[in-house]
Amino acid sequence: MKLWINNNNKEQSVEAANKLRSKLLDAGLILDRRNPQLVISVGGDGTLLSTFHAYAAHLDRVKFLALHTGHLGFYSDWTDTEIDELAKRIIECQDNIPSTSYPVLDVVVENKEGSLFHGIAINETVVRRLSSLTMKARVDLDKEFFESFRGDGLCFSTPTGSTAYSKSVGGALIHPKISVFQMIEIASINNRVYRTISSPIIIPHNQQVDLYPQTADDYVISCDGITTKLKNVKKITIKLNYQRAQFAQYRHRHFWTRVETAFLAQNEKK
């Protein structure tokens, strides 16, 4: 089996990656950066996100695996104290990698000249004005007018990304087995003149959100923290990508256990 290991530069991650790499090479597995079947991220969720985007053009043939050495590991089933067991599972299952899949956001931006920007995100996409001024945009849901938004911006989150930035701006936690995404308003303006829904909206896999800028057309699009500045924006479309991110699953870790560990671990069980 061909694989690649990507790690951050922290000493703990480098040591873990070297140890895992050595065990897999000794077993006859092949390192192939360009055409891997399995890509292993060693570090935290930030390392996983950068690894995902490095191989985002190959979602049809690449499976991801996260080895956790950071502070949070929502995509990680393994820690650096379990390298021996992980290596054993990878070697045993190299002919048939067990996997699960997660929804991925698809973002298309059309400018007034007709050219397009295309991005994807496994966590979230955030849309804001290029400056720090108020964002004003028409919001269509499923190709029908929904609201005129005024505020700091809009966040669109996948289920796996619902525990990240979207949670901090009031989004719902969504189980990754549900093929949906959500739209969360960021500091929306609500008064007797302007009204928005002011609540997270859960959108099914076969529907999309279209944003049409009003009064200004300079925007910042952030996909998993990767920021792109765009001008002359005519339309922004957000929906679920037809492809999903495949993650190797050599063992199952309950999603709600991940949530409890990250946010509630200090609470006493009663």
pLDDT digits (tens, 9 = 90+) for 69-97: 976 677 888 999 999 999 999 999 998 99
Residue 154 is assigned to a structural domain of this protein: yes
Q: Based on the fold, state whether residues 37 and 60 are members of the same structural domain.
A: yes
CATH classification at residue 226: 2.60.200.30
With bands split at pLDDT 50, 70 and 90, how would you rate the model's confidence at 185? very high
- Cβ partners under 8 Å of residue 70, min gap 6: 8, 43, 44, 45, 46, 47
Is 210 marked active-site?
no
User: What is residue 199's predicted lDDT score, i.e. its pLDDT?
Assistant: 95
Catalytic residue among 26, 45, 77, 84: 45
Tell me the pTM. 0.93
Question: Which two structure tokens, joined as six digits, stand for 17?
Answer: 């990656």
Q: Based on the fold, state whether residues 192 and 89 are members of the same structural domain.
A: no
Could you give the number of structural domains in the chain?
2
Lowest mean pLDDT among 20-29, 70-79, 222-231: 70-79
Annotated binding-site residues read: 45-46, 123-124, 150, 152, 163-168, 187
Q: Find where tokens 């991940």 sit.
A: 258
Read off the pLDDT of each residue in 155-168 and give the average, rounded to a whole number: 96
With bands split at pLDDT 50, 70 and 90, how would you rate the model's confidence at 269? low
Annotated binding-site residues for NAD(+) read: 45-46, 123-124, 150, 152, 163-168, 187
Q: Which domain holds residue 36?
A: 2-102+244-263
Q: Is the pLDDT of residue 55 over 70?
A: yes
Please give the span between the terminal C-alpha atoms of the chain, in angstroms, as a whole number.
46
Percent with pLDDT over 90 in the chain: 81
Q: Based on the fold, state whether residues 109 and 236 are members of the same structural domain.
A: yes
